[in-house]
Amino acid sequence: MKRDLYDDDHEAFRSVVAEFVDREVVPHLERWDERCLIDRETWLAAGRQGIVGLAAPEGYGGGGGVDYRFRAVVMEEFARAHATALASGFSLQDDIAIPYIVEIGTEEQRRRWLPGMAAGELIGAIAMTEPGAGSDLKGIRTSARRVDGGWVVNGTKTFVTSGIQSDLVITVARTDPEGGARALSLFVVERDMPGFGRGRRLKKIGLRAQDTAELVYDDVFVPAENVLGEIGGGFGQLRAMLPLERLSIAVHALAVSEVILADTVQYVRDRRAFGQRVADFQNTQFELAEMHTEVGIGRVFVDRAVLALNAGELTEVDAAQAKWWAADLQNRVIDRCLQLYGGYGFMLEYPVGRAYQDARIQRIFGGTNEIMKQIIGRSLVGRP
């Protein structure tokens, strides 16, 4: 099926990204997995090439942030190289951290942080999840208490992507102990603030090169100028920014699904069993036919969502549908592809094995797929 999402400008940019990936990414993937950390120099090189910071306006050194198709190109090229952990880190920067500052931050905050983020010099993160609070934001216990000149933050966060390397952490904290719809606020906590510490670097079953950590806030003084948005507006601000994050997950899921499926087609053509190619078995052809069709259908929906985002028309429900469907599809396709590899699919030397590990988190972060279905369902029948 012909794909009409991109024009010549996007394809020219793809050439730049592909060259960057071949030069700055592919040679280092194995070492990053062993270290469980991606080189800071890679971020700086991406900044120089204009591959990170696409969401920042041009006036702050970024790519303009008006056409999400350029971000989709980056994710597709990272998927081609099986650089899933790096894709996750860059998605956090461009689809979460930078948009929060662009959309919610003050002009002073934009001038202070966006140029460094667009250059890859400042790595952003967001700290929402806590040991006792995941998708349920009402369970957040990290607190912020008003003092002269700012706020004092106390608490613990976990599952923080880029938690070790991050320089700016958008932190969700409770500013109203009584609760309610306006209980939460956002604070930008900077690396060297006294009392702000990194806990364990968490060991994960996938995305090994992506540093994920616990963060500890022990009487961290956050000046008033680091409040992001309106005090008490945190829940609404988070909700407004989540559709972009969820679309990012969907775009990445489709890109990985397509690459793994293409790899599998080539593998079954080359692999022989019982005197013939694995591709010649009827079951293999039926499996490939079903996956090819499902991925094609998913591609149409996700491409349409990208265009809706560009037009300012992407809804919370659209993003939820794209996220849960694409994440489920990714896991389903990779599992079926791995089966066609036989025992070799279980070996990490094959990309399908690593993709199997990395895919599982897609159904959890950005809001679990069960939460996505609840959002969709409530849009159909109303809230209780």
Instruction: Give pLDDT tens digits for 209-262.
Output: 999 999 999 999 999 999 999 999 999 999 899 999 999 999 999 999 999 999
The 8-class DSSP code of residue 330 comes to H
pLDDT bin (cut points 50, 70, 90) of residue 138 is confident
pLDDT of 201:
87
Report the C-alpha gap between 13 and 18 in whole angstroms: 9
Q: What percent of the chain has pLDDT over 70?
A: 99
**Given 130, 214, 245, 287, which residue is catalytic?**
245
pLDDT in tens, 309-343: 999 999 999 999 999 999 999 999 999 999 999 99
Q: What pLDDT score was predicted for residue 1?
A: 59
Burial group, residue 81, by CB count within 10 angstroms (0-12, 13-18, 19+): middle
Contact 259, 82 (CB under 8 A): yes
The confidence score (pLDDT) of residue 2 equals 62
The pLDDT value recorded for residue 203 is: 92
Give the integer Cα–Cα distance in Å for 191 and 254.
Answer: 34
Q: What is the mean pLDDT of residues 70-99?
A: 97
**Stretch (H or E) spanning 157:** strand 150-161
d(CA 63, CA 346): 40
Q: Comparing C-alpha atoms, which of 71, 59, 62 is closest to residue 13?
A: 71
CA–CA gap between residue 87 and residue 92 (Å, rounded) = 9
Percentage of the chain lying above the pLDDT 90 cut? 91
Verify whether residue 245 is a known catalytic residue.
yes
**Tokens of residue 257, six digits:** 């699904």
pTM of the model: 0.94
Provide the token pair at 40: 């800071």
Q: b/e string for 249-282 if b means 16 or more Cβ within 10 A?
A: bbbbbbbbbbbbbebbbebbeeeeeeeeebbeee
User: What are the helix (H) ranges across 212-281?
Assistant: 234-270
Do 176 and 169 meet the contact criterion of CB atoms below 8 Å apart? no
Most distant CA atoms of the chain, gap in Å: 79
At 375 the pLDDT is: 95
- Read off φ and ψ for residue 121, nearest 5 degrees: -80, -30
Q: Is 44 exposed, middle or buried (0-12, 13-18, 19+ CB in 10 A)?
A: middle
Residues 6+ positions from 240 with CB-CB distance below 8 Å:
103
DSSP reduced 3-state for 149:
coil
CA-wise closest residue to 68 among 318, 366, 309: 309
Alpha carbon distance 105, 233 (integer Å): 13
Domains of the chain with bracketed CATH: 8-122 (1.10.540.10), 125-232 (2.40.110.10), 236-381 (1.20.140.10)
* Average pLDDT across the chain, whole number: 95
